[in-house]
Chains A and B, each alone.
Chain A
Amino acid sequence: MTATQAPPRAVGPAERDSFASTLRAEWTKFRTVRGWVIGMIVAAILTVLVGLFAAGGVNIGCGSAGAPARSGKACLPYIPHGPGGEVVTDSFNFAHQPLTGNGSITVRMTSFRGEHANINGRPAQAGNGPNMAPGLMPWSKAGIIIKQNLHQGSAYAAIMVTGSNGVRMQDNYTGDTAGLPGNVSAASPRWLRLTRSGNTITGYDSADGTHWTEVGAVRLAGLPATVQMGMFATSPNYFVTSPSFGGASSQGGPSQATGVFDHITVSGNPAGGTWSDTPVGGGGPLGQTGPAGPAGLHGASGPAGFTHADGTYTLTGSGDIAPVVPGPGSSLPTATIEQSLAGAFIGLIAIVVVAAMFFTAEYRRGLIRTTLTAAPRRGQVLAAKSLVAGGAAFVTGLVAATVAVGVGVPLETSKGQVVLPVPALTEIRVVVGTAALLAVAAVFAVALGAVLRRSAAAITLAVVTVVLPFLLTALHVFPPGVGAWLMRLTPAAGLAIEQSIPNYPQVTNVIEPARGAYPLPPFAGFAVLCAWAAAALALAFILLRRRDA
């Protein structure tokens, strides 16, 4: 209030003051037009309501014959969480023995093969029936692992061969380091070694068993003295996504992978090398029900998960050891925190309408001449309008996003969805990022309003460039590659700021914005939107100076 009262005499302060008074004038204009204030409130309300509808528009039902139907939370299976707090899949076939203290395991792998549900035929059935087609998944895995215990979600480090990603060393579900490339075969075997020294586990690989390369070393905090060490095999679900009218449908089914191990050397183990077979998290071969007893060991009945003869061990498993990501690859009814922010799109439309009008209304009523007479520095008027509209949009968005996530996430949970937990900082980035997204969209609309001087055209351009690329990608109107480029290059890239679960390279999934996977990292995508807004502002600045009011 008082800052604007200073007489504008000295050159330096005068410019600051004149900007401050321009800013104050614009803020007064904004807050005294009732329709604009109502527009912002409507934006917040619609953001929350539509978000809650999207978050709550699901009901997971379950039930078995003879039992009363259940729904919601009661349907959820046990959900393992990794050491980092994320929801994980932890299902694999584990041939293990205890290791106390330091030690190491070395194996040679000569074969890795797999099969998956044949979705072109009848629905997939478990087992090696005619409905299985041969083939490994890109992230089918078999190798050696040192794991805290036999519980799902416990800490581990493993080195493995994969379906098509070469040798990898992975730890605690999210860590992933590449080793030797290429696939394993009898002609081109892979030697793998893990050593434990205290809490540090080091992985090595070799093509010949004599020349070893260290792939990586990881520290597993709080590893107990006695851990489980051994061979494992697992293979994630097979799925294909095909576009259909109004959305994409995913089909898929289970897969299993079989690894063949020999030249097994175990050091530091007092137990003397007796292998037990445990399908951790039901990760045995398909068709095997219940825990694998002795029958599973020697193939007396049911598919054999673990067999050995003359020092050669064959291990078959299904499942995955990986973080759970939203989308068709997930076996759980997953949801993300940003799903309750679907209403931000309608909020965005309302805010863009108000922001564009904030500039174009001056042209319509001829007020722009008065404004520019009072504040002849036209760039300042543009800056002040951008700041006011962006600031108002930020506050509106922040309130709406906080409420939407605060109410939407418990709602999703109560409907039986697994809302993938994220660190507090990520949650703050998603909520504040949504507010920032709306603020930059408002600035974009103000600038377009100044360039086009017609509210209908400015609003349509702002809405269409932000919303339509997302929609067309989500509806799979374009092939996936084109959709991904749209989401990188258009202002819609800014929506990536809402992505809460990272795109893990070691998990097969599709880039599907509606399921929370954008092609660009969050801040890179947001920077693309900012660049568009900056370009529009620059154009507006140039035109505003050159054109008559």
Chain B
Amino acid sequence: MSTTVQARSSRQKASRSGPRTNGTGMLAALHAEWTKLRTVSGPAWLLLGVVALTAAVSAAADGATHCPAGLSCPVDPTKLSLTGIQFGQAVVAILAVLTICNEYSAGLIRITFTAMPRRLLVYAAKAAIIAAVVLAAGTVAVLGSVLAGHLILPGHGFTASGGFHPVWLSYGPTLRAAAGSVLYLALIALLSLGVAAVVRDSAVSIGAVLAILYLFPIVLTFVTDPTWQNRLERWTPTSAGLTIQATTGLRKLPISPWGGLGVLAIWAGAALLAGGLLLRFRDAG
């Protein structure tokens, strides 16, 4: 209760004096966006969904995979333990898209922009808040996935004596894969936010985001030309971005793990930029 009152008073303050001073404006915008996110039940459920779905699918993938003794298993245990990210990213996309589109569908965006005429400030605040909550939820989701892999996989034949590295954060590449997967989810959120700012309709936005996430890998499975395969692996958001999860066969990767995450960051940045420009120069629907 007290925070809500504070939010209102700080917003009033911001509308009086905020636009002139940058710091106060940004803080007020952040506070407003945080309040919007916090006081409806949808985002909390979606964040819970990110955590539960990611960890559950990862654990299921671990549980389904066995490496019988005496056989060589071409499996990357860390990547296997992070399978749930493939599903979790869809929920992250819903969350990010709704952050923008719910305001448009309810007409709230006009009130928001009346209260905060500096639209890019509102947009930056939305991006910061959504990235922060996805980073938090993603950390829990990834830790849960890694823990599941750590507990399940050694019992399924993925032991050190079989030549497999431990799925635990003390192993450098696994730490990089885990931290990178959290960043991956945050970048997917920013990419979705940018697309939503361009499209403004929740249904079309989520369709566009899902197409970006899943279409390229599907085309990749059909295309047999090695040149095009290599191009798609290096420059499409999900294929490049998920190389951050690789911990085996690093020499044969089409793009380096951090380089791949960088490609996703370029996509997210481009989407955010396009969304920001349209938000700035277009009428608020």
Give the interface of A toward B (CB within 8 A): 35, 39, 50, 53-54, 57-59, 242-247, 333, 339, 342, 345-346, 349-350, 352-353, 356-357, 360-361, 364, 455-457, 459-460, 463-464, 467-468, 470-472, 474-475, 477-479, 481-482, 514
Distance in angstroms between the alpha carbons of A517 and B239 in the assembled complex: 23
Distance in angstroms between the alpha carbons of A482 and B101 in the assembled complex: 37
24 contacts between A and B (CB under 8 A): A57-B223, A57-B225, A58-B225, A245-B243, A342-B219, A345-B214, A346-B215, A349-B214, A357-B203, A456-B97, A456-B101, A464-B87, A464-B90, A468-B214, A471-B86, A472-B86, A474-B221, A475-B221, A477-B83, A477-B86, A478-B83, A479-B65, A482-B64, A482-B65
Distance in angstroms between the alpha carbons of A283 and B233 in the assembled complex: 38
Known A-B contacts A54-B223, A479-B65; the reply to A474 vs B203 at CB < 8 A is no
Distance in angstroms between the alpha carbons of A57 and B86 in the assembled complex: 26
Q: Mark B61-97, 1 if CB is under 8 A from A, else 0.
A: 1001110000000111001100100110011011001
Specify which of A58, A242, A352 is in contact with B224 (CB 8 Å cutoff): A58
Whether B252 sits at the interface, judged by CB under 8 Å, is yes
Distance in angstroms between the alpha carbons of A395 and B219 in the assembled complex: 24
CB pair B239 A246 closer than 8 Å = yes
CB pair B207 A350 closer than 8 Å = yes
Q: B186 CB to closest chain A CB, in angstroms? A: 19
Q: B55 CB to closest chain A CB, in angstroms? A: 16
CB neighbours of A464 from chain B (8 A): 87, 90, 210
Q: A376 CB to closest chain B CB, in angstroms? A: 27
Residues in B87-119 with C-beta less than 8 Å from chain A: 87, 90-91, 93-94, 97-98, 101, 105
Known A-B contacts A244-B249, A353-B203, A467-B214; the reply to A339 vs B65 at CB < 8 A is no
Known A-B contacts A459-B210, A463-B210; the reply to A342 vs B203 at CB < 8 A is no
Whether B217 sits at the interface, judged by CB under 8 Å, is yes
Count of A-B residue pairs with CB < 8 Å? 134
CB pair B221 A364 closer than 8 Å = no
Distance in angstroms between the alpha carbons of A361 and B101 in the assembled complex: 13
CB pair B203 A245 closer than 8 Å = no
CB pair B222 A339 closer than 8 Å = yes
Q: A88 CB to closest chain B CB, in angstroms? A: 22
Q: B58 CB to closest chain A CB, in angstroms? A: 11
CB pair B64 A479 closer than 8 Å = yes
Distance in angstroms between the alpha carbons of A474 and B239 in the assembled complex: 13
Known A-B contacts A346-B211, A477-B61, A514-B222; the reply to A456 vs B90 at CB < 8 A is no
CB pair B239 A459 closer than 8 Å = no
CB neighbours of A333 from chain B (8 A): 224
Distance in angstroms between the alpha carbons of A356 and B210 in the assembled complex: 14
Distance in angstroms between the alpha carbons of A316 and B76 in the assembled complex: 40
Q: A310 CB to closest chain B CB, in angstroms? A: 42
CB neighbours of B207 from chain A (8 A): 349-350, 352-353, 459, 463
Q: What would 14 more interface pairs be, CB under 8 Å, given A53-B223, A350-B207, A361-B203?
A: A50-B215, A57-B222, A57-B228, A244-B249, A245-B249, A245-B253, A349-B215, A353-B203, A456-B203, A464-B90, A464-B210, A470-B218, A477-B80, A478-B64
CB pair B221 A514 closer than 8 Å = yes
CB pair A345 B215 closer than 8 Å = yes
Give the interface of B toward A (CB within 8 A): 61, 64-66, 74-76, 79-80, 83, 86-87, 90-91, 93-94, 97-98, 101, 105, 202-207, 210-211, 214-215, 217-225, 228-229, 233, 239, 243, 246, 249, 252-254
Q: A511 CB to closest chain B CB, in angstroms? A: 14
CB neighbours of B229 from chain A (8 A): 247
CB neighbours of B87 from chain A (8 A): 464, 468
Distance in angstroms between the alpha carbons of A50 and B210 in the assembled complex: 16
CB pair B65 A478 closer than 8 Å = yes
Q: B114 CB to closest chain A CB, in angstroms? A: 22
CB neighbours of B254 from chain A (8 A): 245-246
Residue of chain A at shortest CB distance from B106: A364
CB pair A460 B210 closer than 8 Å = yes
Residue of chain A at shortest CB distance from B253: A245
CB pair B210 A349 closer than 8 Å = yes
CB pair B93 A342 closer than 8 Å = no
Specify which of B65, B205, B217 is in contact with A471 (CB 8 Å cutoff): B217
CB pair B206 A244 closer than 8 Å = no
CB neighbours of B222 from chain A (8 A): 54, 57, 339, 342, 514
Residue of chain B at shortest CB distance from A344: B218
Q: A9 CB to closest chain B CB, in angstroms? A: 40
CB neighbours of A463 from chain B (8 A): 90, 207, 210, 214
Specify which of B61, B105, B225, B228 is in contact with A478 (CB 8 Å cutoff): B61
Distance in angstroms between the alpha carbons of A514 and B229 in the assembled complex: 14
CB neighbours of A475 from chain B (8 A): 217, 221
CB pair A246 B86 closer than 8 Å = no
Q: A489 CB to closest chain B CB, in angstroms? A: 13
CB neighbours of A477 from chain B (8 A): 61, 80, 83, 86
CB neighbours of B101 from chain A (8 A): 456
Distance in angstroms between the alpha carbons of A460 and B53 in the assembled complex: 14
CB pair B94 A456 closer than 8 Å = yes
CB neighbours of A364 from chain B (8 A): 105
Distance in angstroms between the alpha carbons of A53 and B223 in the assembled complex: 8
CB neighbours of B202 from chain A (8 A): 455-456
Q: B238 CB to closest chain A CB, in angstroms? A: 9
Specify which of A54, A360, A456, A479 is in contact with B219 (CB 8 Å cutoff): A54
Q: B70 CB to closest chain A CB, in angstroms? A: 14
Which 10 residue pairs are nearest across A and B when measured between Cβ atoms?
A353-B207, A514-B221, A455-B203, A57-B223, A54-B222, A242-B74, A474-B221, A342-B222, A482-B64, A58-B225
CB neighbours of B233 from chain A (8 A): 246
CB pair B224 A57 closer than 8 Å = yes
CB neighbours of B64 from chain A (8 A): 478-479, 481-482
Residue of chain B at shortest CB distance from A467: B214
Q: A486 CB to closest chain B CB, in angstroms? A: 10
Distance in angstroms between the alpha carbons of A471 and B228 in the assembled complex: 18
Q: B145 CB to closest chain A CB, in angstroms? A: 13
Distance in angstroms between the alpha carbons of A340 and B203 in the assembled complex: 27
CB pair B221 A245 closer than 8 Å = no
Known A-B contacts A50-B219, A477-B83; the reply to A457 vs B94 at CB < 8 A is yes
CB neighbours of B80 from chain A (8 A): 477
Q: A462 CB to closest chain B CB, in angstroms? A: 10
CB neighbours of B66 from chain A (8 A): 479
CB pair B225 A243 closer than 8 Å = no
CB neighbours of A357 from chain B (8 A): 203
CB neighbours of A352 from chain B (8 A): 207
Specify which of A474, A479, A481 is in contact with B218 (CB 8 Å cutoff): A474
CB neighbours of B105 from chain A (8 A): 364
CB pair B206 A460 closer than 8 Å = yes
Distance in angstroms between the alpha carbons of A514 and B217 in the assembled complex: 11
CB neighbours of A456 from chain B (8 A): 94, 97-98, 101, 202-203, 205-206
Distance in angstroms between the alpha carbons of A352 and B225 in the assembled complex: 30
CB neighbours of A35 from chain B (8 A): 204
